[in-house]
Amino acid sequence: MGGLDVVTGAFGFTGRYITARLLRLGRRVRTLTGHPDRPNPFGAAVEVAPLNFADQAGLVKSLSGAETLYNTYWVRFPYRGVTFNDAVANSRRLFAAARAAGVRRVVHISIVNPSPDSPLPYFRGKALVEEALITSGLAYAIVRPTVIFGPEDIFFNNIAWMLRRFPVFGIPGDGNYCLQPVFVDDVARLAVELGRREDDLIVEAAGPEVYTFKGLVRLIAEKVGGRARLVHVPPGVALLAAGLIGRLVGDVVLTRDELSGLMANLLVASGPATGEVTFSRWLGENAHRVGLAYASEVRRHYA
């Protein structure tokens, strides 16, 4: 059996694919999770420890013996008293514990186009976490995904869900802003490859296709047989509609930061594509199941 790696959130979306790749390589895996009582999809192959940021000694103990920490921890929006500032502080505690535990390297999953000067708290917080890792004294690799798709994703699934069920789908503004979807296992492959390296580096994770938002919605509607009429609406109206749907499903469908980042073309990489799987092909092969049920962020992370 190989050495030990730790993955935060191995039962989540990206963390699950990273974990699966590590196990196939013969690595031992331990996960730090805020939901240690949930079913373990990997069974006895993955050890489980709590991700408790208030227990620094416990974090150090859970990280002891690990060669690499693959960190997927973040919050998509403030909820139950946990803000973006709290998530930044929690990340600093995690990196400090990794250094104290003697972890060799941290591979951190960030986001494309973070900036400490961003007016958007989500992107600013991501930049502050990157800065905390870079100055931590740990060897690091930072992976910056654009927007991730795959069987368990929320963003694309819920667009398909709305296109399947509602008579109208509102496209904020002109819809000509762009995004560059990347497959979840391509992100995992890149993360694991970087975990084996020694140098400090930052790499974008981006798929081979770039879409306008309106083009992407039309493609999804065509593939899943959605009959919703596509209409252009002001961004404020789109947020209002998302809020109403959120009340219906008990979730946060879309945040102001997410919409602003999308419309500012922040979900497109500045460099060449590093992903291999195209969204169009994947969607064509999986259209029969995409959007059949609503995927709830709140239920997934807080239930």
Q: pLDDT tens, 235-290?
A: 999 999 999 999 999 999 999 999 999 999 999 999 999 999 999 999 999 999 99
Average of pLDDT values for 211-232?
A: 97
Interatomic CA distance for residues 218 and 221, integer angstroms = 5
Residue 197: the pLDDT is: 96
Token digits for 100? 């104290």
Contact 262, 195 (CB under 8 A): no
Contacts of 117 (CB under 8 A, 6+ apart): 124
Count CA within 13 A, CB hemisphere, residue 145: 21
Asked if 79 and 18 touch (Cβ cutoff 8 Å), the reply is no
Grade residue 302 by pLDDT with cuts at 50, 70 and 90.
confident
200-218 CB burial, b ≥16 within 10 A, e <16: eeebbbbbbbbbebbebbb
* The Cα angle at residue 267 between residues 94 and 121, in degrees rounded to 5: 50
pLDDT in tens, 79-137: 888 999 999 999 999 999 999 999 999 999 999 999 999 999 999 999 999 999 999 99
pLDDT of amino acid 2: 80
Percent of the chain at pLDDT > 70 equals 99
Tell me the C-alpha distance between 47 and 117, whole Å.
39
- The beta strands (E) that lie in 62-164 are given as 66-71, 105-109, 139-145, 147-149
Q: What is the pLDDT of residues 129-184, one digit of tens each?
A: 999 999 999 999 999 999 999 999 999 999 999 999 999 999 999 999 999 999 99
Tokens of 80: 């139950």
- In angstroms, the CA 264 to CA 178 distance is 8
Whether the pTM exceeds 0.85: the reply is yes
pLDDT at 248 (0 to 100): 95
| Mean pLDDT of the residues in the chain | 96
User: Does the pLDDT at position 227 exceed 60?
Assistant: yes
Q: What percent of the chain has pLDDT over 90?
A: 94
- The most distant pair of C-alpha atoms in the chain lies apart, rounded to whole Å, by 56
* Per-residue confidence (pLDDT) for residue 303, from 0 to 100: 66
